[in-house]
Amino acid sequence: MRILATYNIKGGVGKTSAAVNMAALAAGQGLRTLLWDLDPQGAATYLLRVKPKVRGGVRKLIERRSEVDALLKGTDIEGLDLLPADFSYRHMDLALGDTKRPEARLGQLLGPVGRDYDLAILDCPPSISLVSESVFETADALIVPLIPATLSVRTFEQLVRFVDEKVADPPEIVAFFSMVDRRKRLHREVVDDLGRRYPQVATAAIPAASDVERMGVERRPVVSYAPGSPAGRAYAALWEETVDRLGLR
């Protein structure tokens, strides 16, 4: 099982939208896919119409007193299962902190279902914490959405440095621009500049589009209800590029 994680220290940059759409595209291509909503806000769980509830809460899960496969929920998309969010995930840091090797724990939890899936996508909460460090240790690749603003360039550079310096076996990084409005000169400049300077930045970019915002109403991935829209096509292109870059085929 390959593990990807959508991550950015900032919130509201398109992590969950990317996670849900990429998971749906992967399942549609026949990959047995698991999406783990690690964010206590439970947006991915909401979008897939599942109740944000994990029996026993985060502590039981982290202490491995809950069987992960008993917590999984099938989604409306065939081939895509969800390990839902739970509001108690807000204490995941504390629960991880009480374990012996917190950075290895998320990987250990996924171990028993590793043969059941080809791909796991972790939708991370926006922060830098023990949870994210454990994600960095576990994931084969980080999928990093960036909004086209000067500050997000700085954030991206910090992330690349952190991963290289602090993570024993650093995951690959695939960054992409999200919420791009090509009518804005600043957006165009930032996208072009960072794309030139960093090979990790994907060519595909997700536009700022009402189709993406509509996910909250539809409670489905864009690629399910508007696959031919610019946003739907952009997610498909991003997924294909990710597959190629990471050799997921």
Partner 1 sequence: MPRLPDPVVFAIGAEVDESRVARWLAGAEPAGPARTVEQALLDTFDGRLYRRGLVMWREGSRRAPSLRLQQAGAADLSGRVESGDPDRILVADLPEGVLNDRLADLIGERALQPRVRIRTRTRPWRVCNGDGKTVVRMAVEEPAVVGGRGVEADLGRRLRVVPVLGYPRDMERAVAALERRLEHQPMPLAEAALAAAGVRPEGVSSDVEVPLVPEMRADIAIAAICRRLAEIVDDHKAGVVADIDPEFLHDMRVAVRRSRAVLKEMRGVLTPEQAARARSDLKWIQEITGPTRDLDVLLHEWPSMVEPVPTWMGPDLGPLLDLLRRERAEAYSTMRRHLTSRRFAAAWSAWQELIAESAPTGSAPTGSAPIGPSFAGPSFAGPEAGRPIGELAGRRIVAVYRSMARAGAAIDDDSPPEALHDLRKRGKELRYLLELFGCMWPEERVKPLVGALKGLQDVLGHFQDDEIQALELRGLGPVLAATPGGTDSLIALGFVIEELTRRQHQARADFATRFSDFAAPANRKRVTGTFR
Confirm or reject binding of residue 118 to partner 1 (CB under 8 A): yes
Pick the closest to residue 221 from 28, 69, 41 (CA basis): 28
Q: For residues 35 and 162, give the distance between their C-alpha atoms in angstroms, rounded to a whole number.
A: 25
Confirm or reject binding of residue 76 to partner 1 (CB under 8 A): yes
Which among 16-24, 72-80, 183-191, 194-202 is the span making contact with partner 1, rule CB under 8 A? Answer: 72-80
Confirm or reject binding of residue 113 to partner 1 (CB under 8 A): yes
Q: Min. distance of Cβ 81 from partner 1 in angstroms?
A: 6
Which of 11, 12, 49, 192 is in the footprint of partner 1 by CB under 8 A? Answer: 49
Q: Measured from the CB atom, is 24 or 201 closer to partner 1?
A: 24
Q: Min. distance of Cβ 25 from partner 1 in angstroms?
A: 15
Which of 18, 20, 23, 50 is in the footprint of partner 1 by CB under 8 A? Answer: 50
Q: Measured from the CB atom, is 81 or 123 closer to partner 1?
A: 81
Confirm or reject binding of residue 115 to partner 1 (CB under 8 A): yes
Q: Measured from the CB atom, is 14 or 232 closer to partner 1?
A: 232
Applying CB under 8 A, what is the total number of residues that bind partner 1? 22
Confirm or reject binding of residue 219 to partner 1 (CB under 8 A): yes
Contact residues toward partner 1 (CB under 8 A) are 30, 32, 48-51, 69, 71-76, 78-79, 81, 113, 115-118, 219
